[in-house]
Structure 1
Amino acid sequence: MAQFETERLILRPMTTADHDVLADMIFDPQVVAYLRYRRVQSVDAFEQVFTDHFLADRTRVFGIERRRDHQLIGFYEFHDAEAGGELTYALRPDAWGQGYVAEAGNRLMGYGFETLNYQTIEAHYASVNPNSGRVMAKMGMQDAGELHTFTSDRGELIHVMRYVLTKQAWQRLSA
């Protein structure tokens, strides 16, 4: 069970005590608008993903907890992908714009490369949310262009953008 600390954060496995805060996040359309969790529409579906993913995966899913008040403010997770790892992150809206995701990501990239043995880590964001792309750049990731497009639930065309960091580039940045 891995746990990490940064200046302002504790990055740790999720616990049953995180249930209600995480449910609030998953059911907040602002938080999950462009995440895989936007499809979690019922309490039963949330209970299943909470138990089978957030609690069960203690090596790839981390709660983002503020050190000063020990409040869960979000999550950061790795998913195994064909070329390496893919990351997903989300924060409660009251924690947006404070640099927490980049701070967590800068600490967890090393874990992804050294412990999970990824050769490449990538992340995706919706072009209508350019702040997420800026966060990825702050983690040392490089813009790799458009991955695909889709039509949102509101009928808008969404361009999914891709950022990538290779293990070699991360090692150069870390030196």
Structure 2
Amino acid sequence: MIFNNQNKTISTNRLILRLFQKSDAITVAKLCNNYNIYKSTLYLPYPYEEADALGWIEQHLENFNANRLYELAITDKKSGELYGAIGLSNNETFQQGELAYWVGEEYWGKGYATEAAQAMVEFAFEIKNYHKVFARYFGSNPASGKVMEKIGMKKEGILIDQIKKDGHFEDLVYYGIVKYESK
């Protein structure tokens, strides 16, 4: 993981994690207007439109500069193609943050979420000096849990029927990693 503070980018072997631009809104809307992504995320609306993407993107630079939230586009290092998004909140009081991500369905199974998530955890510990990073996923989306396990997170617990989505309740499975475990 290489962090470029001036450009606000994180580079990995295959990816560049960068701030979203307004020009990304059309692609974000295309990727997010997908029921399979919606059903596995806490906050994405469905249907998802370009206006939703623009409203979301509008806050990113300010949040990044204020050290509140780092929301970055997951893009191909060579082509620049947009695959998805990754975010990391910042709770300075407790030196921790929540990791969240989504990848467009056509890019599932290629390791992009894992590579981006690993880079964000390294960013949290090495650049931002977090003590802990945590993440959560719906019990009905075990693939997200596999990403968390691959980057060294450990299962911390399950909140039973924690979220109501589309008329039924979902378990939230919590994972976490503390700095000294990430070495």
Q: TM-score range by the shorter chain?
A: 0.7 to 0.9
Query: What is the CA–CA distance in structure 2 between the aligned matches of 1:134 and 1:42, rounded to whole Å?
Result: 26
Percent identity over paired residues: 27
1:24-43 matches, within 5 Å, as 24-39=30-45, 43=49
Which secondary structure does the structure 2 equivalent of 1:38 belong to? coil
Give structure 1 stretches of 5+ with no counterpart.
none
Query: What is the CA–CA distance in structure 1 between the aligned matches of 2:80 and 2:38, rounded to whole Å?
Result: 23
- Select the residue among 135, 157, 171 that pairs with 2:169: 157
Q: Amino acid of the residue matched to residue 47 of structure 1?
A: L
On the 8 A contact 2:25/2:53 being kept in 1, the answer is no
The offset of 1:145, in angstroms, is 1.3
1:70 aligns with 2:69: no
Query: What is the CA–CA distance in structure 2 between the aligned matches of 1:17 and 1:45, rounded to whole Å?
Result: 13
Query: What is the CA–CA distance in structure 2 between the aligned matches of 1:88 and 1:42, rounded to whole Å?
Result: 18
- Select the residue among 91, 104, 108 that pairs with 2:103: 91
TM-score normalized with structure 2 length = 0.81
The offset of 1:73, in angstroms, is 0.5
The offset of 1:99, in angstroms, is 0.8
What is the CA RMSD across the aligned residues, in angstroms?
Answer: 2.1
Which secondary structure does the structure 1 equivalent of 2:109 belong to? coil
Give structure 2 stretches of 5+ with no counterpart.
1-6
Query: What is the CA–CA distance in structure 2 between the aligned matches of 1:36 and 1:116, rounded to whole Å?
Result: 25
**Shift in alpha-carbon separation, 1:10–1:144, aligned structure 2, 3 A:** same
User: How many pairs were matched up?
Assistant: 169
Write 1 or 2 for the structure with the bigger share of helix: 1
Q: Bigger shift: 120-129 or 66-75?
A: 66-75
1:108 aligns with 2:120: yes
On the 8 A contact 1:25/1:32 being kept in 2, the answer is no
